[in-house]
Amino acid sequence: MRRLRRLAHLVLFCPFSKGLQGRLPGLRVKYVFLVWLGVFAGSWLAYVHYSSYAELCRGHVCQVVICDQYRKGIIAGSMCQDLCSLHKVEWRTCLSSTPGQQVYSGLWQGKEVTIKCSIKDGPHSGAGLDTAPRRELALFDKPTRGTSIKEFREMTLGFLKANLGDLPSLPALAGQVLLMADFDGDSRVSLAEARSVWALLQQHEVLLLLSLQDKEHAARLLGCCGDLYATEGAPHRPWPGAALPPLLRPLLPPALLAALQRWLGPAWPWRAKIALGLLEFVEELFHSAYGTFYMCETTLASVAYTAQYDFRMADLQQVAPEAAVQRFLRGRPCQRTADCTYGRDCSAPCDQLVRQCKGDLLQPTLAKVCALLRDLLLPGAPAGLREELGRQLRTCTTLSGRAGQVEARHALVLAHLKALLWQEISHTQHS
C-alpha cells in the first residue's frame, strides 16, 4: 500500500522525475504527463461543477423566505399550504442557470411541474439568510392597506398598459388577474392575495404566461405562493448541442456539432414536426390578442419538446412585448448598433447623426427563427426536399422590418414554409 501511494504521488506531482522513469522503465514521460494532466483537468472540472452548483441551486432559501412571509400572513397563494404546512411540494432536479432565478423540476398534486422563484441578491452579496425575509418584505408592500378593489384593478390595468402597450383587450386581462388573485375561492381578494398577485406580475415570465395562456406552445401557470410559482413540467429535451456546457460549446468545430445533431437528435421527420410547432409559435407571437411579442434570444436552448414531439418554448424569459422593447431602445444613447440591443439579439440601428437608437428592429423574429431552422432541418433532410427547403429558409432569413409593417410578406413566407414541411410529414406517423 505504501508503495502504491508513493507511485500515485510520483504520477501526480513528479511526471518528469527520474525516480518515476526508474520505477517504470517502459513508460514514456509523455504518457505520464497526459495522465497527470487528465487528473488535474478532472479535478478542476469537479471543483467548478460543485462550486457553481452551490451558487446556482438555492431552492431551500426560496422556501424559507416564502414560508416565513406566508406564516406571518403577508402573502397567500394556491400552493402555500402544500408548500409550507403540509410539505406536499416535492423539489427535484435543480435547473437554474443564474443565481437570481431558481428553477427546479418538481411534483405537486400528482403533476410534474417546474418551480420558479427569484432571489434578488446573489449568494455572496454579504447579506445573510436572516436578512432575506426583510428584503422580501419590500417586494410585498403593494398594494397598501386600505386600497379598494377598484383601485387595485386600475393599478393592475396601468401596469399592463405600461408593459404591453395601450390595447383595447387589456381590461379583460386585468379582470383575469383579479379572478386569479382569489386563491381561496371566497369571491373576495384579501390584502395578502392582492400583494401576492402584484409581486407575481413583476415576474417577467408570469406576465408572458398570462398574455399567452391560450397558446398551446407555452406552458400553463398552475399555482403560486407569493412570487414563487409553478408551471407545467413538460419534458424538456434540449438539442444535443444546446445540452453541452457553455464553456465547451465554442471549442467544438461546427462539423462536430452538426454530427452530434444528426446522431443524437430526433429523426428528421420528428425535427420537422417540432419546427412546425416553432413556426406556429412565431405566428402566435405577432398575432396575439395582447400585442406583438419578440423572441430576444433565438438559440437551440429555447427549443424544447414533449414526448410526442410537440414544440414547447423552453423559457419565456427570452420573449419580450413590443412595447417593452421599443421603450428600452427608442432614444437610447449609442455609438454603434451593438449598443442598441435588447436581450441577446433584438437589435435596432443606431442613428449616427443624433447618436440615439431607433425603435425598429433590424431583424424580425421570423428571420432569426429561420436561421435557427437551417441548422435543425437541412442536415439529414430528404434529398428531394433539401434544395427547395434551403431556398425558402434563405428567403426567410433575409426578411427585415417590423412584422406589422410587412405583415403580408411575413405571412406568405411563413405559410410556404409550413406547407412545405407539412406536405412532407402529413402522410406519415409523424403527423
Higher pLDDT, 211 or 49: 211
Query: pLDDT for 134-154, tens place per residue?
Result: 444 456 888 998 899 999 999
In this prediction, what percent of the chain has a pLDDT beyond 70?
Answer: 74
In this model, does residue 123 exceed pLDDT 90? Answer: no
Buried b / exposed e along 146-178 (16+ C-beta atoms within 10 A)? eeeeeebbeebbebbeebbbebeebeebbeebb
The predicted pLDDT at position 317 comes to 84
Give the whole-angstrom CA distance, residue 366 versus residue 334. Answer: 26
In this model, does residue 409 exceed pLDDT 90? Answer: no
The predicted pLDDT at position 47 comes to 45
Query: SS3 for 197?
Result: helix
Angle, nearest 10°, between helix axes 365-377 and 268-285?
A: 180
Higher pLDDT, 242 or 359: 359
The predicted pLDDT at position 254 comes to 65
Name the amino acid, one letter, at 263: W
The answer to whether residues 197 and 229 touch, using CB atoms and an 8 Å cutoff, is: no
One DSSP character per residue, 334-370 reads: -SSGGGSEETTTEE--EETTTTEE-SS-SS-HHHHHH
Query: What average pLDDT score do residues 116-130 get?
Result: 56
In this model, does residue 19 exceed pLDDT 60? Answer: no
Query: What average pLDDT score do residues 3-24 get?
Result: 50
In this model, does residue 49 exceed pLDDT 90? Answer: no
In this model, does residue 132 exceed pLDDT 50? Answer: no
- Report domain extents, the chain: 2-56, 59-232, 240-425
When pLDDT is cut at 50, 70 and 90, the band that residue 215 belongs to is: confident
In this model, does residue 418 exceed pLDDT 60? Answer: yes
CATH class of 240-425: mainly alpha
- What backbone torsions phi and psi does residue 77 show, to the nearest 5 degrees? 160, 160
- Per the prediction, the chain carries an average pLDDT of 82
